[in-house]
Structure 1
Amino acid sequence: MKDAVEAVATVVETDKPEGIRLQKVLAAAGVGSRRHNEELIDAGRVRVDGKVVREQGRRVDPETAVIEVDGERVVTRTGLIHLALNKPRGVVSTMSDDQGRPTVAELITEFGSHSGLFHVGRLDVESEGLLLVTNNGDLAHRLTHPSFGVPKTYQVEINGPVRKETLRWLRMGVQLSDGPVRPENVRVIDQVGSRVLIEMVLHEGRNRIVRRLMDEVGHPVQRLLRTEFGAVHLGNLRSGRARHLTRFEVGALHSAVGL
């Protein structure tokens, strides 16, 4: 009798379905209520690993499944943190500094322990603006790898006037000591007296690339602010503050680098 009970228990355990119901995974990822997610599935708007799912109750592994809603990636891995930080001037783009300078880690204490978190790319100590912070190593690696060319937008304050020939030179590309650099877009967005504000979009993140570029064309940077990193915009985030990325921002970043 005992052997029979143990055998039944083994069968029950073996037949236990694996994974979590898709609508529950979507709800946990912030897509909507379970009922709303069931409607999305019924409408054929949800894909799992590239295939449309219409089956209610389909179970998935949120750690490994690639889930999309209306073609937009929904990141469902647990324990991931994705932050946007408005780094002030004078803060070092590092989690610790042996010289005692203020660091990125000191600005994100409200989000808990910074153990495992790291910044994506860098902004030099005098530069300001958008810096991504995460514990998602796969995403961070791809976002900073030059082969993916994720665009970054900067506002560059310089002393003018700026000649049309200089703008044309920037748009055509400038040869630096470590190779050429060609911004995707360069335009003057404001000019007051001798102050000129230029918006520039780059697809690479070499060390001090914007400052070296402007030095080369004879207009050293007076102030440098990064306003966009891929699909993430600085918006009205105050200097020194951080926020969680939205589900849509995280999904767009993953899609941009093929994850």
Structure 2
Amino acid sequence: MNKTPNDSKELFALNKPKGYLVTRSDDLGRKTVYDLLPEWAFSDGWMPIGRLDLESKGLLLFTTNSKINHALTTPKNCIKVYEIWVRGHVSDEHIAEALKGVQSPHGLLKALEVEKMGMGGAKTKLRVKIDEGKNRHIRRLFGALKDPKFGTPLKVLELSRVSIGSFNLDIKSAEWRYLSQEEAKLLLENLD
């Protein structure tokens, strides 16, 4: 992909598919996000901003600028939106609990907003907003909630990040593109 004058020099987006690690290299030889990117992304030191675990997919931003990386990963600075499928029926009580927060060994895990988007069989589709991204935040948050009928933890079956701040994912799985200068400016102007 050729760079145009309107492209940000500091940010590009990848739509990460499942099954790729967000790391520069893996001792076990598993696929990493750099397998999806041009060679220069690795050699020029482009770093992922935040993480998505192996089973998660969706928006991942990359930068070479540590200030941008820090600003976008500082808690409370930037809202991230996820669409998830949860095994079981997510009740209003579950949603209230997720908004209030649950204690975990990783500290308080909570969502800013949880919106029910639909059901499919014994699964519930939710749109979840958070402003911090602790390790496996959403999976652990819903895993701490119990299915009232079976007493089993709710389980996130699918997780996809659809936006970070003002930037919404608009590219196909495994594709990448530069943010435009406008998109980068919008994304960064509300940060401290």
| Residue 160 of structure 1 pairs with residue 88 of structure 2 | yes
- Are 1:87 and 2:6 an aligned pair? no
Tell me which residue corresponds to 1:180: 108
Q: Which residue of 2 aligns with 1:192?
A: 120
**Of the candidates 173, 176, 183, which is equivalent to residue 249 of structure 1?**
183
2:152 is the alignment partner of 1:224: no
Partner Cα separation in structure 2 for residue 224 and residue 30 of structure 1: 32
1:130-164 Cα offsets, whole Å, 9 max, x none, are 00011122101111122x52110011101222222
Tell me: CA distance 1:120–1:113, structure 2 relative to 1, closer, same or farther (3 Å): closer
Offset, 1:30:
3.5
Task: State the shift of 1:190 in Å.
Answer: 1.5
- Equivalent residue runs for 1:1-259 within 5 Å: 30=6, 80-109=9-38, 112-115=40-43, 116-146=45-75, 148-217=76-145, 218-235=153-170, 237-258=171-192
Structure 1 unaligned spans of 5+: 1-27, 32-74
Secondary structure of 2:93's counterpart equals helix
TM-score, normalising length from structure 2? 0.87
**CA displacement 1:208-231 (0-9 Å, x = unmatched):** 111100100121111111111111
Alpha-carbon spacing, 1:119–1:113, altered in 2? closer, same or farther (3 Å): closer
The structure with the greater share of residues assigned to helix is 1
Amino acid at match of 2:21: V
Question: Cα distance 1:159–1:113, how it changes in 2: closer, same or farther (>3 A)?
Answer: closer
Root-mean-square deviation (Å) = 1.9
Separation in structure 1 between the aligned mates of residue 92 and residue 29 of structure 2, nearest angstrom: 44
Which string of whole-angstrom CA distances, capped at 9 and with x for unpartnered residues, describes residues 33-81 of structure 1?
xxxxxxxxxxxxxxxxxxxxxxxxxxxxxxxxxxxxxxxxxx7xxxx33
Tell me how far apart the structure 2 counterparts of residues 142 and 241 of structure 1 sit (CA, whole Å).
25
Please tell me the residue identity of whatever aligns with 2:42. Answer: H
Summarize the Cα distance change of 1:176–1:242 in structure 2 as closer, same or farther, 3 Å threshold.
same
Q: 1:226 is matched by which residue type in structure 2?
A: R
Residues 79, 131 of structure 2: 8 Å contact kept: yes
Amino acid at match of 2:71: R
CA distance in 2, matches of 1:96, 1:161: 38
The amino acid of 1:145's aligned partner reads T
Cα distance in 1 for residues equivalent to 2:190 and 2:113: 19
> For structure 2, which runs of at least 5 residues remain unmatched after alignment?
146-152
Point out the more displaced range, 218-227 or 157-166.
157-166
Determine the C-alpha separation between the residues in 2 that align with 1:89 and 1:114: 20
The C-alpha deviation readout for 1:145-203, integer Å capped at 9, x for no partner, is: 22x52110011101222222111111222222222223111011121221210110000
